[in-house]
Structure 1
């Protein structure tokens, strides 16, 4: 092969390379994205329209006294079935993983004979009032840190009131409902919803 043929081949390679380089530069100029001034994306956050604007907080439940006025013993009995794996409800019933709940309303904490309470429950002291039961049933481990009760709690306030209303009937002489809960309709319901008979 003579030098003329070699020069033709090298010229073709050089021309092709020059053409490809020109096409590359041209496409970069046409399709090049805009570089942002700073990396990342702007996230649009809607600011309150006035300085007084506040984030809406979930509503606090009504006091237990008011919820008891609307509570229903039968609904509470049904809801309390989820507790029956660990508790018994009848007078003289055995302790299980948790203590027997007959006479729980008005009873001193950690006082059921024959049940081994956690230190946290013994140290809490006081009595199981309507309000205390409501707080405990909301979040047992949050209200009595260290309790051995593993139940997660009852988040719905009306359901807790139903359960507390049912628990209050589990006694030979049930503790009187708070005055606020003693509406005429509630009094009639309590006449019908008598305490369960002992077996």
Structure 2
């Protein structure tokens, strides 16, 4: 009696699998009748500009000096709290190098801090213009940098942070 019981169970499983495959075959056949995917006709055409895909509007230039001179140091101190997770302004390094005295300092030259090498490749000194662009997108400014910060998208926030850094650098 156990053998016939096992045979019945196995027959039910095989029947269920065959039935499932039959249902999937019917669905595939019905969808091929509804949706024609082998046609040579074009459903729609997307027009693209012939200028190579570049925007025709010129890039907006920002007067960084004017923004920084009109910036609010107190707001900069508030925005700097995002930077404070990795940077200190007391002369000691943390995850990132200390930022007191950063204005006018050569990029990647803080003693006792191991840089990724990306800032040394950029070279030059930190001025408000360089900081403004670096703070917008650090990875684009210094490709290969190990700094994981995404950047400050607002021009005003960057100018405020730069004004704050200038105030503590003097």
Query: TM-score when scaled to structure 1?
Result: 0.57
**What per-residue deviation string (whole Å, max 9, x for no partner) do you get for residues 91-145 of structure 1?**
x3x2111001010011111111110111122222210011111111111110111
**How do 1:63-78 residues align onto structure 2 when only pairs under 5 Å count?**
63-78=63-78
Is residue 71–residue 165 contact of structure 1 (8 Å, CA) maintained in 2? yes
Give the equivalent residue in structure 2 for 1:161: 159
Structure 1 residue runs of 5 or longer lacking an equivalent are 1-37, 48-54, 175-199
| Structure 1 residue matching 2:152: 3-state secondary structure | coil
**How do 1:7-46 residues align onto structure 2 when only pairs under 5 Å count?**
39-42=41-44
1:40 deviates by 4.8
Partner Cα distance (2:129, 2:82) in 1: 21
1:58 deviates by 7.9
Is residue 104–residue 170 contact of structure 1 (8 Å, CA) maintained in 2? no
Give the equivalent residue in structure 2 for 1:60: 60
**How do 1:1-199 residues align onto structure 2 when only pairs under 5 Å count?**
39-42=41-44, 57=57, 60-90=60-90, 92=91, 94-171=92-169, 174=170
Structure 2 residue runs of 5 or longer lacking an equivalent are 1-39, 50-54
| Structure 2 residue matching 1:86: 3-state secondary structure | coil
Partner Cα distance (1:161, 1:146) in 2: 24
Is residue 69–residue 163 contact of structure 2 (8 Å, CA) maintained in 1? no
Larger radius of gyration: 1
1:42 deviates by 4.4
Partner Cα distance (2:62, 2:120) in 1: 29
1:155 deviates by 1.1
Partner Cα distance (1:110, 1:158) in 2: 25
Give the equivalent residue in structure 2 for 1:31: none
Query: TM-score when scaled to structure 2?
Result: 0.66
CA RMSD of aligned residues (A): 2.6
